[in-house]
Structure 1
Amino acid sequence: MDRLLVTLVHLRLGLPHAALAELYLVDRSTISNAVREVRPLLAARGFAVPDRPGIRLRTLEDPFAYADAEGVELLIDGTEVQVRRPKAGRPGRKAFVSGKKKQNTIKTTTFSDGQGRTLFSGVVRPGRMHDQTAVRSEGIAEQFRQYPDVKATVDEGYRGLANEFPDQVDAPPKKPKDDAPLGEHHAWRERRRHQSSARIHVEHTNAEYKQWRPLQRFTGRRETYTETHLAIAGLVSDRSARRSTRRKPGTELVLTRQAAC
């Protein structure tokens, strides 16, 4: 139990092993060994399923299978975390330089439901890799082919995915040309606002991860980032899965008489 508690404190607060050793009055190597042994166990737990105690989602295919079976629309969004810059001369040094943030980062992709509850978070890749490239290389597009009834809402980074699966993937509408009628610009702003409101829940999900200190700026070895991210995301999913599901009304309002014009 103490080893688990030490690992949870390290994941939540990002305290150095030496500081934890002072708090628990043990040698630093004891803390390091505990974190090294417990963290992969937490990472392997997978992600909790809302309203389905005991079921965990562990692979990329699992959230698609769940969405297909339960009729859930997926919200998909990428996020990136700054990591330490490697020393000069190391191979692959530029692979982690994000074109967006101009920093060394690692990217992940998050899948949530319409209430922002984590269903899966992974597809870990260097910051230089574009989201659309990850769609191809990590098999996200293939999942849409296998589950043609699954629908998802994405941001502009997944535009190619929406172009390939227009009946399944909803991306922000394209901006009309500058010389387009004023009505088209107004309609575009309204559609974009509506799409952004639907997508914001998954952005809140990514924000939940950033409440954990290691995912605000990761200062550990980049080789351990995937394990750390999966462990934290799995713990966040345990909390978010306990949120009660908002039920849709079982009946629709219907006018009993024609309204006068």
Structure 2
Amino acid sequence: MGAGAKHRFTFVHRLLATLVHLRHSATHDALACWFDVDRSTITRAIGEVRPLLAERGCTVSPDVRLRALADVVEYLGASGKTGIVDGTEIRVRRAAAGRKDGDRFISGKNKQNAVKSMVVADGEGRVLWCSPTEPGSCADITHARQLGLVKLLADGPTAEILADAGYQGLGAQTGGRVVTPPHRKFKKDAPDWYEEMYERQRKARSSRIRGEHGIAHLKNWRALARHLGRREHASDIVQAVAGPLSHQQTADLIPAQQK
């Protein structure tokens, strides 16, 4: 420990360079000019710091961080808060010609190359957790099942989670703990009484719009507006952005609650 050459580019500067890169999508060349170092130094610094930010987790109080989906479910059950689950897609570059699995990254919704992450937020729109990314062709409900959400909710503490129509079917598998919009029985020529009932049920779940707000705050970081680097780094980037964002949201929320 402590052997070898000392870093001339200090950890504080490496952290700052990584945050600027994630927030504004500044190129490595521009950051190298700013910090007066070589481009390779910036590339190495971002590669070292980004995984550390991803492992940091999301801050929900000064002494509590959520690093896994199991921690989120336990936190929601202990606090009695309602969670909001939604998926978000991040555009990526087209796969190389001739790559066998290139079609897996084409989103069926937006018809573009993308990776997908599941975002969990609370009723205030604060980001609680972001999952590792999956190819864009993966359905939202399939991604949730692969992450073990069904088992965690069925065997874990009582927690209510709001979700959109992409997760219909999880409610029956979790004992009603995942609440989704009702199925529309009449697609054409629906009776007036059914339209009124359907709108009333739909508006009762309208609070899940806060989850969209949480995703919007994530997309304000330019690195998630469109990812131009290697797709293998997308998971670290999503989770690295979620950590500082949740810390900022928690810091803003605590003074508001004290008022």
TM-score by length of 2: 0.90
Render the CA deviation track for 1:1-48: whole Å, top value 9, x for unaligned.
Answer: 111111111111001101111222211001111111111111110010
Render the CA deviation track for 1:188-241: whole Å, top value 9, x for unaligned.
Answer: 11221231x210001100000000001001001101111111100111110111
Q: Residues 66, 245 of structure 1: CA spacing in aligned structure 2 closer, same or farther, 3 A cutoff?
A: farther
1:120 counterpart = 2:121:
no
- C-alpha contact 1:109 1:122 (8 A) present in aligned 2: yes
1:156 counterpart = 2:165:
yes
Cα distance in 1 for partners of 2:122, 2:233 equals 28
Cα distance in 2 for partners of 1:83, 1:241 equals 30
1:147 Cα deviation after fit: 2.0
Q: Quick one: which of 157, 164, 185 aligns to 2:195?
A: 185
Which range moved further: 162-171 or 33-42? Answer: 162-171
Cα distance in 1 for partners of 2:101, 2:177 equals 36
The corresponding residue for 1:11 is 22
Cα distance in 1 for partners of 2:143, 2:150 equals 9
Q: Residues 144, 245 of structure 1: CA spacing in aligned structure 2 closer, same or farther, 3 A cutoff?
A: farther
- C-alpha contact 2:132 2:235 (8 A) present in aligned 1: no
Number of aligned positions between the proteins: 244
Pairwise mapping of residues 92-111 of structure 1 onto structure 2 (< 5 A)?
92-111=101-120
| Structure number having the greater helix percentage | 2
Which range moved further: 96-105 or 135-144? Answer: 135-144
SS at match of 2:86: strand
**RMSD, matched Cα:** 1.5
The corresponding residue for 1:250 is none
Residue 192 of structure 1 aligns with an amino acid whose one-letter code is R
1:179 Cα deviation after fit: 4.1
The corresponding residue for 1:22 is 33
1:137 counterpart = 2:130:
no
SS at match of 2:131: strand
1:32 counterpart = 2:47:
no
Cα distance in 2 for partners of 1:168, 1:63 equals 14
The corresponding residue for 1:211 is 220
Cα distance in 2 for partners of 1:93, 1:187 equals 44
Cα distance in 2 for partners of 1:23, 1:230 equals 26
Which range moved further: 152-161 or 235-244? Answer: 235-244
Residue 19 of structure 2 aligns with an amino acid whose one-letter code is L
Residue 167 of structure 2 aligns with an amino acid whose one-letter code is Y
Residue 244 of structure 1 aligns with an amino acid whose one-letter code is I
TM-score by length of 1: 0.89
1:88 counterpart = 2:97:
yes
Q: Residues 166, 188 of structure 1: CA spacing in aligned structure 2 closer, same or farther, 3 A cutoff?
A: farther
Q: Residues 78, 102 of structure 1: CA spacing in aligned structure 2 closer, same or farther, 3 A cutoff?
A: same
1:54 counterpart = 2:63:
yes
The corresponding residue for 1:78 is 87
Identity %: 41
SS at match of 1:241: helix
In structure 2, the gaps of 5 or more residues are 1-11
Cα distance in 2 for partners of 1:179, 1:103 equals 34
SS at match of 2:129: strand
- C-alpha contact 2:132 2:238 (8 A) present in aligned 1: no
The corresponding residue for 1:45 is 56
Q: Residues 216, 180 of structure 1: CA spacing in aligned structure 2 closer, same or farther, 3 A cutoff?
A: same
